[in-house]
Structures are given as structure tokens and as C-alpha cells.
Amino acid sequence: MTTVSSDGAEGAADIRIRTAERADLLEVHRLEQAVFPQPWPFAALESYLEEPGFLVADTDTNDARVAGYIIADAVPNHGTPLGHVKDLAVRAEYRREGIATTLLERALSVLESVDAASAKLEVRAENEGAMDLYRSFDFEHQKTIPNYYSNGEDALVMVRLL
């Protein structure tokens, strides 16, 4: 488990990073719906529940509110697993506190632990904040997939070696 200290802002809670549990799914789903214009269905989130790269950031409060989450897995790829960061979201009120950075760092460690040689992800072409985060982890733009999202927006495929 990893703890992310708040930036000292009044009322900010400490955050714990841990493996997602079944009890987290409803909050993860609600966050998915709040953050993304094309959210995953509940069943899709549930299908990743056993993945060691499905991590949540929860607040250190009695309600254990999910502040953010990441889903990453590895798939066979010609004998060497390929890591895939599938989903990453942080509640608006917890952004800019290092949660996304810590979640991504932990997920990449999980991918390295299963001997993935590289990690890829898709990001909306207009999402500069996310691209800045991924570039800070040495992800590089490899290709563009036109009309990837339901609204016609392109996706950038970004890759990094592990």
C-alpha cells in the first residue's frame, strides 16, 4: 500500500493506494461516469477486478471514498507481455495532488513485475493534461487512430519501454 500525502490544503485527506476490491466497484463506476463522456459499463470494470493493476486511491475517511483509480493489465505478445494502461481517473476535487502520478507509477510497477517489455495507452487527442502526465513517464506518441471515440475524436497511442 502507498500513501499520498495531501499538499497541505485545508480539508485535504491523506490518500491510500491499494488493489481494488469488489466493494469499490460502484464508486469506481460512478467516477467513470462523472469523468468520461464515453464511460465504460459496470460489467467492463468488474471484469478487471482480479487484475493486480486495478488500483484505487481512497481517502483516509470513514466513508473510504474512491478518489481515483487506474486499470492496467498485460497481454501475451509474441512471448513477451505487453502492458496496457486502460483507464485512469481522479475526482475533480482531488486533482493536482499527485494521485494520478502515484497511480500510474504503481501500475507501471505492476506491469514490470509481470515482465511486460513495454506499456501502451490511448488518450484523447485534446487531453493535454493527460498527455503531459504520460510524457513525464516517458510515454511517446506512436500513432494516431482517427475517430477512435464515439464523438469522432482521435486517440493518440502512446508507448514506453519498461
The domain 2-117: what is its CATH number? 3.40.630.30
Residue 155 has pLDDT above 50, yes or no: yes
Tell me the pTM: 0.89
Domain-wise residue ranges, the chain = 2-117
Q: Rounded distance, CA 74 to CA 119, Å?
A: 8
pLDDT in tens, 77-94: 888 899 999 999 999 999
Question: What percent of the chain is predicted at pLDDT more than 70?
Answer: 89
DSSP secondary structure, 26-59, as one string: HHHHHHHHHH-SSPPPHHHHHHTTT-TEEEEEEE
Confidence of residue 59 (pLDDT cuts 50, 70, 90): confident
Q: What is the pLDDT of residue 81?
A: 93
